[in-house]
């Protein structure tokens, strides 16, 4: 009888009265001890109000019950799909929405709905993964700025792939200590692409030179990343670079000359299919023919493998000394050894040209350090 009387009253009541009744009904349902029959009647009444033509009525109901863990779940689900000013209460506050509910809402809902999901006090990894996959710039920014959001390494990488060309997102990603190395490399590539695409830079420097500068800067950034990450992250970074065809001879030589041994070993393991233990043993103590065979099994051409063998022996010798720069020592002696091949228009010439650029850059860096210490 109570529900019937309420429904008759709703038919003729003014909007303000219906909104007040919806709010009161929700509060009574949550805070009063009611018999099973009365509770069922109240739930039916609230369900009926979901179809009220006035948003004010549905908003009043949402404000009254959206936060409660024992609110009727079916009503919360309906409110979560209402218009944004009503849905925001359920989507941002309700503890009744499961990960599956939120993932479904993110996939089917609007950008506003995804923004509300990203702003929840606690966002789990499955929900973050859904937002990383379908969210636009504003929703992903909200997610990254939310301290209560748990985001997996794979989701961070996906964000870097999709939206790493947006500076605000890129900066937030780079500020994270849990950003995986392969995602950092993607971000450096986005910066490089942005530089090459600048019309002013193309006009001032020339497209071909700009592309070369960009490539060299990207390789330097990757080598720097490889030296700073935990050993457990190195295989993932190497595999990412291999899939993107970035494990070129010049890049591998760059890593070897810079003494990034952990990364270099892992790269040779990946390319040669030899065991990690065997690769490390050959690089550390192997004779010339064993080292050369290892490099050729990794896909390096024979004429280039000779230079890598020499660089390996120079690295062994230089690593036992601390008086000089490892990079300068290896590069300088490689250039002395193969001085007659510098400038040739072949793979060896290109490789030695890269080594020479490394050597010049290291000499300039050392000169700046010396000048700074002398001035001090």
pLDDT digits (tens, 9 = 90+) for 82-124: 999 999 999 999 999 999 999 999 999 899 999 999 999 999 9
How far, in Å, CA of 170 to CA of 173, rounded? 5
Q: What is the band of 364 on the pLDDT scale with cuts at 50, 70, 90?
A: confident
Task: Compare 112 and 324 and report the one with higher pLDDT.
Answer: 112
Could you tell me which residues are beta bridge partners of residue 149? 123
Q: Which CA distances in Å does 95 have to 4, 69, 147, 367?
A: 31, 6, 18, 61
Q: What is the band of 134 on the pLDDT scale with cuts at 50, 70, 90?
A: very high
Could you tell me which residues are beta bridge partners of residue 123? 149
Task: State pLDDT tens for residues 165-221.
Answer: 898 999 999 999 899 988 888 888 877 776 666 676 667 676 676 666 667 667 777
pLDDT at 354: 83
- pLDDT at position 324 over 60: no
How confident is the model over 314-332, as a mean pLDDT?
75
Tell me what the pLDDT averaged over the chain comes to: 86
How confident is the model over 218-244, as a mean pLDDT?
80
- pLDDT at position 287 over 70: yes
Using a pLDDT cut of 70, give the percent of the chain over it.
90
Contact 256, 308 (CB under 8 A): yes
Using a pLDDT cut of 90, give the percent of the chain over it.
48
pLDDT at 273: 81
- pLDDT at position 39 over 80: yes
- pLDDT at position 72 over 70: yes
- pLDDT at position 2 over 70: no
Q: What is the band of 75 on the pLDDT scale with cuts at 50, 70, 90?
A: very high
Task: Compare 343 and 36 and report the one with higher pLDDT.
Answer: 36
Q: Which CA distances in Å does 223 have to 16, 54, 67, 269, 304?
A: 66, 61, 49, 17, 20
How confident is the model over 317-334, as a mean pLDDT?
74
- Other beta carbons within 10 angstroms of residue 213's beta carbon come to 16
Least confident of 159-163, 225-229, 236-240, 248-252: 225-229
Task: State pLDDT tens for residues 335-354.
Answer: 888 878 777 777 888 888 88
pLDDT at 90: 95
How far, in Å, CA of 136 to CA of 376, rounded? 50
How confident is the model over 27-44, as a mean pLDDT?
84
pTM for the whole thing? 0.70
pLDDT at 260: 85
């Amino acid at each position: 009888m109570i529900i019937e009387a309420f429904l008759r009253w709703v038919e003729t009541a003014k909007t303000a009265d219906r909104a007040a009744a919806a709010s009161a009904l929700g509060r009574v349902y949550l805070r009063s001890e009611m018999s099973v029959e009365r509770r069922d009647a109240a739930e039916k009444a609230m369900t009926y109000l979901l179809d009220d033509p006035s948003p004010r009525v549905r908003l009043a109901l949402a404000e009254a019950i959206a936060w409660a863990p024992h609110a009727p779940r079916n009503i919360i689900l309906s409110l979560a799909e209402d218009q944004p000013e009503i849905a925001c209460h359920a989507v941002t506050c309700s503890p009744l929405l499961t990960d599956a509910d939120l993932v479904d809402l993110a996939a089917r809902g609007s950008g506003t709905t995804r923004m509300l999901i990203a702003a929840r006090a606690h966002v789990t990894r499955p929900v973050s993964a859904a937002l990383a996959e379908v969210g636009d710039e504003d929703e992903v920014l909200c997610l990254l700025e939310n301290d209560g959001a748990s985001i997996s390494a794979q989701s961070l990488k996906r964000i870097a792939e999709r939206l790493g060309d947006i500076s605000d997102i890129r900066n937030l990603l780079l500020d994270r200590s849990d950003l995986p190395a392969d995602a950092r490399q993607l971000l450096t590539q986005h910066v490089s692409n942005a530089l090459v695409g600048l019309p002013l830079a193309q006009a001032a420097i020339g497209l071909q030179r700009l592309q070369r500068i960009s490539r060299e800067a990207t390789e330097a950034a990757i080598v720097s990343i490889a030296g700073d990450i935990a050993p457990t992250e190195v295989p993932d970074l190497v595999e990412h670079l291999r899939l993107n065809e970035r494990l070129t001879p010049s890049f591998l030589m760059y890593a070897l000359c810079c003494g990034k041994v952990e990364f270099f070993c892992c790269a040779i393991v990946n390319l040669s299919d030899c065991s990690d233990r065997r690769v490390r043993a050959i690089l550390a103590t192997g004779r010339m023919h064993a080292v050369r065979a290892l490099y050729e099994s990794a896909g390096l051409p024979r004429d280039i493998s000779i230079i890598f063998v020499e660089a390996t022996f120079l690295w062994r010798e230089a690593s036992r000394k601390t008086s000089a720069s490892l990079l300068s020592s290896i590069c300088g002696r490689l250039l002395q050894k193969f001085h007659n091949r510098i400038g040739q228009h072949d793979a060896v010439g290109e490789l030695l040209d890269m080594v020479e650029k490394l050597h010049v850059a290291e000499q300039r860096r050392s000169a700046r350090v010396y000048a700074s210490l002398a001035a001090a």
